Chains A and B, each alone.
Chain A
Amino acid sequence: MTPSDATGSRPALSVGSRQKHLRTLAIAWQLARLDLVRRYTATMLGLAWAVLSPLLMAIVIGVVFARLFGVELRSFLPYLFLNLTLWGFFVACLDGGAIAFLAAEGYIKQIPRVSLFTYPLRMIFAAFVTLLLGLIAAALVSLFFGGKIGTAWLFVVPGLALWFVFGFSIACVSGVLNTAVRDFQYIQSVAVQALFYATPVMFPAKLLVRHDLSWMLTYNPLYHLLAIVRVPMLVGQVPQASHYVASIVTVAVSLGAAFLAVRRARARLVFWL
């Protein structure tokens, strides 16, 4: 027997236990698995698209921009490919998060005692699998262009762990905001576009430094998050502590925001659907 007591809050969520968290994970993974199967069996090349689409992007952009920036294609292409893969995950979290609760309306309105975190988590699981495939491809691209496997690659793991928590957090926040205020999606997509051009994804970070814009790097959390995966993987070095500090602060702040948003939405979200 699990007594639950609700005064303006969902009774389910006050029953905090290990079993409940495991259940949340199990449901989210099941839903994510179905999403992945659907996404990749509906197309002819299936899973290969997870790798092919950033690869084709990287080749097209790479050939042009390497000339424009006067950098070597053999180092620029892996850089571009890895950045685009990580950025793709970032966007997938925001977009997936935006529809996380809306797509789950049928569940939220009929099945009691399911944690609200389940639904953003579902989106993150699917996006993260795609990210992992992209990273494997990025590693291969890097090796193809003469990169070397080194012990620094181990530092990719904590980097990815931070990315996972970051993705989960922004998906929760995006989910609550987009469910509460429907036109938030427009603001969000403009903001993401702006951030894309302000972040060294498609161009080398040096370019900003050269034009006295290094503050744009210092205060851009995405730059540091990209660095904690890129530096060990492509440069073969341990990332600077400052990248980690900035990344950890970013992740902590966004995780806090996620808990706050979901807690505030808990008693109201069902009415927004």
Chain B
Amino acid sequence: MIRLQEVSLTFPGRGAQSLREKITGAVRRSRIPDRRAVTALRGIDLEIRRGERVGVIGLNGAGKTTLLKVMCGIYPPTAGRLTVEGDIACLFEIATGFEMEATGWENIITRGLLIGLTRREIRERTEEIAAFTELGDALDRPVKTYSSGMFIRLAFAVSTSMVPDVLLLDEVVAAGDQQFQEKATARLTQMVERASILVMVSHSMDAILANCGRVVWLEGGRVRMDGPAEEVVRAYGDVR
């Protein structure tokens, strides 16, 4: 179960500061508002129950990816309350977090540990993961030699080697070549069947309609519409 109550997220524009900013900030903090702050989510109320397949749609900058990152705990909400039950896996459009000098094999182990597998579990799955990536001998090379498509294959293969209770997908299937996309779609369909909750972000209404029963339409960080997939997708299409 995922529950968001009045969840808002404001990126502090100040972020990391230089010392100068820190000092001037301390002097004037009360008077000057943080102009670079960006509010990405505003008062989101959502409850997603076991068995639900939820699509998230909206224009670029509507807060879709941010919503996923809040759900999986990467961004702590600046206001409101978030409750998530079960283990979670998330996959983002662009895969980051690799040890560039290390080989593909070493990165499989590292990523496996990071997503919560034990060394033994990784060892049992390595062959299967390697086969799925279809990277072959490239796995012996440092990953700094990889293309972005190869990174996605690697990240995808490791992340989907376990079946989580909650699966959060950010436009992943769009990456990679045609052949990999088909394979990835097949793997995801399998996972989606087994995971108890799916939340996916996509610009492809076909993908949304094929996988989701419920759709949340985000606009400017707010929920514009939330309901049965066909209805929301139709309304979204009409507006555009």
Contacts and interface: CB of A to CB of B under 8 A. Distances in A.
B101 A34 contact: yes
A4 B114 contact: no
Contacts, number: 122
Given A1-B165, A30-B109, A34-B99, A11 B119 contact: no
A7 B8 CA distance: 11
Interface in A1-50: 1-12, 23, 26-27, 30-31, 34, 37-38
Interface residues of B, number: 46
The binding surface of chain B is classed by DSSP as loop
Interface in B107-159: 109-111, 113-116, 118-119
A6 B17 CA distance: 26
B113 A109 contact: no
A114 B116 CA distance: 9
B150 to A, nearest CB: 16
B96 A180 contact: no
A148 interface: no
A215 interface: no
B68 to A, nearest CB: 10
A183 B118 CA distance: 38
Interface residues of A, number: 45
A38 B16 contact: no
B60 interface: no
Contacts of B109: 30
Given A23-B113, A180-B17, A181-B19, A268 B12 contact: yes
23 contacts: A4-B73, A4-B83, A5-B81, A6-B81, A6-B84, A10-B76, A11-B82, A23-B116, A26-B113, A27-B113, A38-B102, A106-B98, A108-B74, A112-B73, A113-B72, A113-B88, A181-B16, A181-B17, A181-B18, A181-B19, A187-B19, A271-B11, A273-B16
Interface of A: 1-12, 23, 26-27, 30-31, 34, 37-38, 104-114, 179-184, 187, 266-268, 270-273
